Chain A
């Protein structure tokens, strides 16, 4: 057996998207020796795909905006299932996190008076999204990457070593967390390039691994989104909440087949784009739910006036929260009023001058032209729902990001609670920054207060190594690619945008069979940069997380946000008071009910009673 590579750090951050990098910056600035481990190259994380912007109530475009309004919008978007403390911290701290990015060198689009410009987005009452054209995620990731480089340059000046206190291990996958008793002691994984194993000894681990979209067939997510952090947390003994809530973004590309699912930014609608069916009708007016009737225009004239006069008109229904728009598109297609390739039409060409479209939506223009031969300045796009984001994740303490396992933290998409049953567009990038920073500080405080450091046992290393090598030990087993495709098809068809009890029971049966078959996967070749082996290891995570999603979705007998039950179509105020909590048991997952924490009274006072009556039980309102 070759010598095991070993490293020792104070804080390990798994994932190098927005949350991971912001957490690493914070931990390092608290004096912790910090490592970032990421599956891709540094700077390629999925955050680059975020297009629209960062929601922060800076009030630069409409001075009526403030954190209370943002808080209200976030709670409404999540249908009041959100962890209110997270929603509060998020709304309060997002502006500081955006301004801080400017000190790192970010260049946002500007208002006429030279401040950061803000754009409209679904579910946000005022123009609130700081943005850079439609490539805000790239700006965010590059800015944080460059901030990390600047911290490394500081270390170089001080110690002669760029990596003295902050090091990035890129193209590295973590397969297991290691514990010492009840506490986190480190992480075990492999270099993707060489396949060699590495042990990281560290008393604190921050999960920032993003989402789970690769368990679904049609998704805007990249290969990295295999639910690694969700599964690592479960296996380490932490709990997940809200796993039944999956956001299907209403507008993914539907043609050509090879790009099916790739995101079309909500900014298209925020900047005036409209949805039409095959009859040419703007159908969203038919889908305004009762709870939103007073906020959204019921006719085209008023909706169009809103773009220039927001004080005296209601918003266009194209800007309803994402779950509503996705369901509406789904219904139109099912009713036979879809576009030729099974979506609906999203048109901005008749709404803005060509020059303006190219300026505001350059990467959409580029994407459609290059990949679909569609010129969005002259033709409508064809779009349909795509699996985009998981609201569920590790159950954390809002202030510090700590999970129930000592030393284990989570931030960003892998954590749960902030967005309730549905996330508003733009609230993800702000979530990454606010809670990435908090988790970095939380982990640093934990390490600082520690009297004795945990120790990694040789047995746990031997076990982790054996698990990782298992796919090479077997012959004649199945191809991991085949299993992955079957998993994606099952989740897409049976636990997708519209759900029924019978179908989810079937999904769970299929998942059991897939789990059995996954025991005997076989991979060819050797450990060096072997994608078949990587997928075999990722599948273990996808299967565990998919089981959580299906089990929680089967239990929740109501429809709310990113969870729509055909057999239980209405929202039930009793269910708002319950969280579904997933934990690991054997090689599977169990899901149990737990009461939701009641909303603090001064935060409840921010809403009208008539609005609260739509969501809360009579008992809660008494």
Chain B
């Protein structure tokens, strides 16, 4: 059942690096992260990799496997041919720290820029009432494990370092949508999404949804509805007038 698998793993740091070849044992039922751990234990004890739960729940072990952004713990070896050489490289959009570990602080910076949940002032804890059907929309987005694969994949920042300043990325635009759709959130988030978080940069190529390990419909259920709300407000004269006359305090 076991075989010797061929791996190429990127090794290096912020000053540069290269792909290194390894031949390593692969057993039935294993995932790519198991192989990386075997490399650490037997051939490369200082190989740097981030991981945690090993069950697709914490979103730590993001990398690019044969060029495709994936979680290493959820990528089974059985999807590859035994003869295939498997290339594992760090996420490309974020600065390298060492080997497979990247500096993901961009994401934490963006998270801080989104105004937090604004609860209704007149409700005491324990008095919140919401219907299941109404919480489900935001619940879908709260499934996010913050693996940042969508952020890594989105071409707005993957290919354009200069956009990082103005664009929060799919994960955090989805966070804005989550709060906008929260049944009890009192803040107005539509203009913010466009003006502060760069929703306009998204041209709905859906790459983010495609790589999401939680299968969240980021584009269809979060970003497009937000874009529609922005469009309604910006171009609909009745909405525009309503906003002028009946502004929320």
> Is A475 at the interface (CB under 8 A from chain B)?
no
Task: Please measure, in the bound complex, the distance between the C-alpha atom of A371 and the C-alpha atom of B129, giving whole angstroms.
Answer: 37
Q: A48-B57, A115-B129 are in contact. Are A259 and B29 (CB under 8 A)?
A: yes
B190 CB to closest chain A CB, in angstroms? Answer: 18
Task: Please measure, in the bound complex, the distance between the C-alpha atom of A370 and the C-alpha atom of B29, giving whole angstroms.
Answer: 11
> Is B235 at the interface (CB under 8 A from chain A)?
no
Of A308-316, A319-327, A521-529, the one contacting chain B is: A521-529
Considering the complex, give the chain A residue whose CB is closest to the CB of B215. A366
Chain B residue contacts of A103, Cβ below 8 A: 119, 125, 128
A51 CB to closest chain B CB, in angstroms? Answer: 9
Which parts of A369-409 form the interface with B (CB within 8 Å)? 370-372
Chain B residue contacts of A149, Cβ below 8 A: 111-112, 116
Of B45-53, B81-89, B192-200, B217-225, the one contacting chain A is: B45-53
Of A92-100, A276-284, A455-463, the one contacting chain B is: A92-100
Which parts of A89-109 form the interface with B (CB within 8 Å)? 95-96, 99-100, 102-105, 107-109
> Is A150 at the interface (CB under 8 A from chain B)?
yes
Task: Please measure, in the bound complex, the distance between the C-alpha atom of A48 and the C-alpha atom of B182, giving whole angstroms.
Answer: 22
Which parts of B8-66 form the interface with A (CB within 8 Å)? 13, 27-31, 34, 40-41, 45-60
Q: Please determine whether B139 and A107 come into contact, CB atoms closer than 8 angstroms.
A: yes
Q: Please determine whether A48 and B29 come into contact, CB atoms closer than 8 angstroms.
A: no
Which parts of A349-372 form the interface with B (CB within 8 Å)? 363, 366-367, 370-372
Which parts of A198-257 form the interface with B (CB within 8 Å)? 222-224, 255-257
Which parts of A68-123 form the interface with B (CB within 8 Å)? 95-96, 99-100, 102-105, 107-110, 113-115, 117
Task: Please measure, in the bound complex, the distance between the C-alpha atom of A107 and the C-alpha atom of B135, giving whole angstroms.
Answer: 7
> Is B229 at the interface (CB under 8 A from chain A)?
no
Q: Mark B116-153, 1 if CB is under 8 A from A, else 0.
A: 11010000011011111001001100111110000000
Q: A135-B143, A529-B101, A532-B40 are in contact. Are A44 and B60 (CB under 8 A)?
A: yes
Partner of A40, one of B52, B108, B125: B52
Q: A222-B53, A224-B52, A481-B45 are in contact. Are A162 and B112 (CB under 8 A)?
A: yes
Task: Please measure, in the bound complex, the distance between the C-alpha atom of A147 and the C-alpha atom of B132, giving whole angstroms.
Answer: 23
> Is A63 at the interface (CB under 8 A from chain B)?
no
Chain B residue contacts of A526, Cβ below 8 A: 46
Task: Please measure, in the bound complex, the distance between the C-alpha atom of A343 and the C-alpha atom of B215, giving whole angstroms.
Answer: 30
Q: A222-B54, A370-B56 are in contact. Are A531 and B47 (CB under 8 A)?
A: yes
Partner of B117, one of A105, A137, A224, A366: A105
Of A138-146, A293-301, A411-419, A550-558, the one contacting chain B is: A138-146
Considering the complex, give the chain A residue whose CB is closest to the CB of B33. A258
Q: A142-B142, A149-B112 are in contact. Are A258 and B132 (CB under 8 A)?
A: no
Partner of A153, one of B51, B76, B112: B112
> Is B98 at the interface (CB under 8 A from chain A)?
yes
> Is B104 at the interface (CB under 8 A from chain A)?
yes
Q: Please determine whether B27 and A529 come into contact, CB atoms closer than 8 angstroms.
A: no
Task: Please measure, in the bound complex, the distance between the C-alpha atom of A255 and the C-alpha atom of B29, giving whole angstroms.
Answer: 8
Partner of B52, one of A46, A96, A147, A367: A46
Tier of interface size on chain B: 35 or more
> Is B99 at the interface (CB under 8 A from chain A)?
yes
Partner of B125, one of A43, A100, A162: A100
Considering the complex, give the chain A residue whose CB is closest to the CB of B13. A528
B163 CB to closest chain A CB, in angstroms? Answer: 23
Q: Please determine whether B116 and A531 come into contact, CB atoms closer than 8 angstroms.
A: no
> Is B115 at the interface (CB under 8 A from chain A)?
yes
Considering the complex, give the chain A residue whose CB is closest to the CB of B135. A107
Q: Please determine whether B145 and A138 come into contact, CB atoms closer than 8 angstroms.
A: yes
Considering residues B54, B99, B111, which has the most beta carbons from chain A within 10 angstroms of its beta carbon?
Answer: B54
Q: Please determine whether B31 and A371 come into contact, CB atoms closer than 8 angstroms.
A: yes
> Is B97 at the interface (CB under 8 A from chain A)?
yes
Chain A residue contacts of B207, Cβ below 8 A: none
Chain A residue contacts of B45, Cβ below 8 A: 479, 481, 523-525, 530-532
- Chain A contributes a number of interface residues (CB within 8 A of B) equal to 69
> Is B202 at the interface (CB under 8 A from chain A)?
no
Chain B residue contacts of A150, Cβ below 8 A: 116-117
Task: Please measure, in the bound complex, the distance between the C-alpha atom of A371 and the C-alpha atom of B32, giving whole angstroms.
Answer: 12
> Is A268 at the interface (CB under 8 A from chain B)?
no
> Is A604 at the interface (CB under 8 A from chain B)?
no
Q: Please determine whether A530 and B125 come into contact, CB atoms closer than 8 angstroms.
A: no
Q: Please determine whether A110 and B130 come into contact, CB atoms closer than 8 angstroms.
A: yes
Chain A residue contacts of B30, Cβ below 8 A: 256-258
Q: Please determine whether A223 and B49 come into contact, CB atoms closer than 8 angstroms.
A: no
Which parts of B133-185 form the interface with A (CB within 8 Å)? 135, 138-139, 142-146, 179, 182, 185
Q: Please determine whether A531 and B131 come into contact, CB atoms closer than 8 angstroms.
A: no
> Is A49 at the interface (CB under 8 A from chain B)?
yes
Considering residues B30, B34, B46, B131, which has the most beta carbons from chain A within 10 angstroms of its beta carbon?
Answer: B46
Task: Please measure, in the bound complex, the distance between the C-alpha atom of A99 and the C-alpha atom of B116, giving whole angstroms.
Answer: 18
Task: Please measure, in the bound complex, the distance between the C-alpha atom of A255 and the C-alpha atom of B27, giving whole angstroms.
Answer: 12
Q: Please determine whether B117 and A104 come into contact, CB atoms closer than 8 angstroms.
A: yes
Task: Please measure, in the bound complex, the distance between the C-alpha atom of A99 and the C-alpha atom of B54, giving whole angstroms.
Answer: 31
Partner of B55, one of A44, A102, A109, A259: A259
Chain B residue contacts of A617, Cβ below 8 A: none
Task: Please measure, in the bound complex, the distance between the C-alpha atom of A367 and the C-alpha atom of B128, giving whole angstroms.
Answer: 32
Task: Please measure, in the bound complex, the distance between the C-alpha atom of A532 and the C-alpha atom of B135, giving whole angstroms.
Answer: 45
Q: Mark B195-233, 1 if CB is under 8 A from A, else 0.
A: 000000000000000000000000000000000000000
Q: Please determine whether B51 and A223 come into contact, CB atoms closer than 8 angstroms.
A: yes
Considering the complex, give the chain B residue whose CB is closest to the CB of A96. B125
A356 CB to closest chain B CB, in angstroms? Answer: 14
Task: Please measure, in the bound complex, the distance between the C-alpha atom of A530 and the C-alpha atom of B144, giving whole angstroms.
Answer: 29
> Is A262 at the interface (CB under 8 A from chain B)?
yes
Task: Please measure, in the bound complex, the distance between the C-alpha atom of A142 and the C-alpha atom of B143, giving whole angstroms.
Answer: 10
Q: Please determine whether B41 and A481 come into contact, CB atoms closer than 8 angstroms.
A: yes
Task: Please measure, in the bound complex, the distance between the C-alpha atom of A612 and the C-alpha atom of B40, giving whole angstroms.
Answer: 53
Chain B residue contacts of A139, Cβ below 8 A: 142
Q: A95-B126, A105-B182, A529-B99 are in contact. Are A48 and B145 (CB under 8 A)?
A: yes
Q: Please determine whether A41 and B104 come into contact, CB atoms closer than 8 angstroms.
A: yes
Chain B residue contacts of A223, Cβ below 8 A: 51-52
> Is A566 at the interface (CB under 8 A from chain B)?
no
Chain A residue contacts of B13, Cβ below 8 A: 528
Chain B residue contacts of A102, Cβ below 8 A: 119, 125, 128
Q: Please determine whether B101 and A366 come into contact, CB atoms closer than 8 angstroms.
A: no
Which parts of A257-297 form the interface with B (CB within 8 Å)? 257-259, 262-263
Q: Mark A7-18, 1 if CB is under 8 A from B, else 0.
A: 000000000000
> Is A489 at the interface (CB under 8 A from chain B)?
no
Chain B residue contacts of A524, Cβ below 8 A: 45-46
> Is A42 at the interface (CB under 8 A from chain B)?
yes
Q: Please determine whether B52 and A370 come into contact, CB atoms closer than 8 angstroms.
A: no
Partner of A363, one of B48, B57, B185: B57
**Given A108-B135, A223-B51, A532-B46, 12 extra CB contacts under 8 A:** A44-B146, A49-B53, A95-B126, A105-B182, A107-B130, A107-B138, A110-B130, A222-B54, A256-B28, A367-B56, A531-B40, A532-B45
Contact sample, A vs B, 12 pairs, CB 8 Å cutoff: A40-B50, A49-B58, A99-B125, A105-B179, A108-B135, A133-B139, A150-B116, A262-B55, A367-B56, A371-B56, A481-B41, A524-B45
Q: Which residues of B contact A (CB under 8 A)?
A: 13, 27-31, 34, 40-41, 45-60, 74, 76, 97-99, 101, 104, 108, 111-112, 115-117, 119, 125-126, 128-132, 135, 138-139, 142-146, 179, 182, 185
